[in-house]
Amino acid sequence: MKRDWKIIQEILCAIEDNKVKMHWEQIPESEQKNVLLHYELLKESELITNYELVSDMDDDGKCTYHPNFLPQSPNVPGIRMTMKGYDLLEVLRDQTLWNRILSKAKSLGVKLTYEFIVQAIPVIYKTMM
């Protein structure tokens, strides 16, 4: 699997719009594993919370995985973004800023990681002012 920033943006947008279940249902079965791995990356990076991976076993013994979108109790919110998640989504939506981050990574010859993005933002903002 390769990290895909477009998939990350789609997931974050779906969470923000409260349409994550609808988004999941539109993903072809052949791509679901890759998208699930991106959910896991977002959770590990503390960009989303109230998320868990659920497995179901069908009658034939086939195990399928899907994200849990519903709260386990009425008082617990469902999947949501953290403040860091909202911050990243703002960066991904701002094409000028995003293109400058991509360009900066390329000019420095470094990989485009979450940590690089976070560190590049203030540097790029200074050049924009």
Other C-beta atoms closer than 10 Å to the C-beta of 92 total: 19
Six-digit token string for 100: 């400058």
List, in order, residues 6 or more apart from 96 with CB less than 8 Å away.
Answer: 128
Give domain limits for the chain: 1-81, 94-129
Residue range 1-13, pLDDT digits in tens: 899 999 999 999 9
Give me the pLDDT at residue 101, please.
94
CB 6 within 8 A of CB 42: no
Give me the pLDDT at residue 54, please.
76
CB 117 within 8 A of CB 88: yes
